[in-house]
């Protein structure tokens, strides 16, 4: 059935203000459509993921978090995205894409690219800045990059630096896999990165599956086995408990 307010046109004329030509505003019936369009812009197919009743991610839309989750992350992301305005600019990138962007800037300087993934380098993103700065929320999926690169941890640290810089100051979610956590055994890990995460990031884990088999997840302090700053380097490198 057509919307009665706009007769299905999706727009409503503002009060006339002669001699100016008529202006229009969007009808509220367009909102749902616009939101779904935005959800799909962020990730194709995301709007079709199953519904979850609630999500701890709603509490951290404007916060820096490390989310430990498998595929159940996506229904939770859908839950958040359909509740945000259509103008909400969220972006999913990956650890691999960050390195690729970084390699791209090296290639531009005419240096040799020493990386097994070099074939992916394009001019699509000229620098990491171009890739990570614009989104309102940047989601970095870890575990996509498999070929080792010496600069990996610096590249991730640079992305976080750019996001948390006072002139940008926008939230970042780092999405790590439960069986491949971002710790001392991870290609992107460095002690310095660990300090940053401990100071500026919270942790979200145990997200409920759609259908609610697990308990809803909870937001906690990131923490690396107690207070990382007081721990010795040796302990930090000790891996998971
Ligand atoms: Zn309408």
**Residue 121: Cβ within 10 Å count:** 20
Are 133 and 168 contacting, i.e. CB atoms less than 8 angstroms apart?
yes
The string of pLDDT tens digits covering residues 146-167 is 888 888 999 999 999 999 999 9
pLDDT of residue 10: 87
The string of pLDDT tens digits covering residues 184-230 is 889 999 998 999 999 999 999 989 888 755 555 667 777 655 444 44
According to DSSP, the residues that pair with 219 across neighbouring strands are 204
**Residue 198: Cβ within 10 Å count:** 17
Tell me how many domains the chain contains: 1
Higher per-residue confidence, 224 vs 236: 224
| Residue 106 forms part of a structural domain | no
Helices (H), 53-126: 73-81, 95-108
pLDDT of residue 125: 55
C-alpha 31 – ligand 1 centre gap (Å): 9
pLDDT of residue 44: 96
C-alpha 3 – ligand 1 centre gap (Å): 4
Query: Could you say which DSSP state residue 47 is in?
Result: G
| Residue 171 forms part of a structural domain | yes
The string of pLDDT tens digits covering residues 117-153 is 666 666 555 688 888 999 999 999 999 988 888 889 9
pLDDT of residue 234: 42
| Residue 182 forms part of a structural domain | yes
C-alpha 17 – ligand 1 centre gap (Å): 22
| Residue 65 forms part of a structural domain | yes
C-alpha 210 – ligand 1 centre gap (Å): 32
| Residue 81 forms part of a structural domain | yes
| Residue 99 forms part of a structural domain | no
| Residue 119 forms part of a structural domain | no
Task: Provide the residue range defining the domain that includes 156.
Answer: 50-91+138-143+151-236
Cα gap 124→60, rounded to integer Å: 30
| Residue 131 forms part of a structural domain | no
Q: In angstroms, how far is CA 143 from the centroid of its own chain?
A: 14
Cα gap 56→46, rounded to integer Å: 18
C-alpha 75 – ligand 1 centre gap (Å): 29
């Amino acid at each position: 059935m057509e919307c009665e307010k706009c007769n299905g046109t999706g727009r409503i004329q503002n009060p006339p203000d002669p001699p100016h030509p008529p202006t229009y505003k969007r009808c509220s019936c367009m909102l749902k459509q616009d939101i779904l369009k935005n959800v799909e812009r962020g990730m194709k197919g995301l709007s079709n993921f199953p519904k979850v009743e609630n999500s701890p991610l709603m509490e951290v839309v404007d916060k820096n978090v490390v989310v430990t989750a498998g595929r159940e992350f996506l229904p939770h992301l859908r839950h958040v995205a359909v509740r945000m305005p259509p103008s909400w600019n969220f972006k999913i990138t990956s650890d691999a894409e960050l390195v690729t962007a970084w390699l791209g800037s090296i290639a531009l300087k005419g240096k040799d690219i020493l990386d097994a993934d070099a074939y992916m380098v394009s001019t699509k993103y000229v620098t990491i800045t171009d890739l990570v700065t614009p989104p309102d929320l940047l989601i970095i999926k870890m575990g996509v990059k498999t070929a080792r690169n010496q600069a990996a941890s610096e590249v991730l640290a640079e992305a976080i630096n750019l996001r948390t810089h006072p002139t940008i100051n926008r939230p970042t979610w780092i999405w790590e896999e439960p069986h491949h956590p971002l710790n001392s055994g991870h290609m992107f890990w460095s002690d310095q990165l660990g300090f940053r995460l401990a100071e500026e990031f919270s942790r979200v884990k145990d997200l409920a599956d759609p259908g609610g088999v697990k308990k809803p997840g909870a937001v906690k302090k990131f923490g690396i086995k107690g207070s990382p700053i007081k721990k010795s380097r040796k302990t930090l490198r000790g891996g998971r408990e």
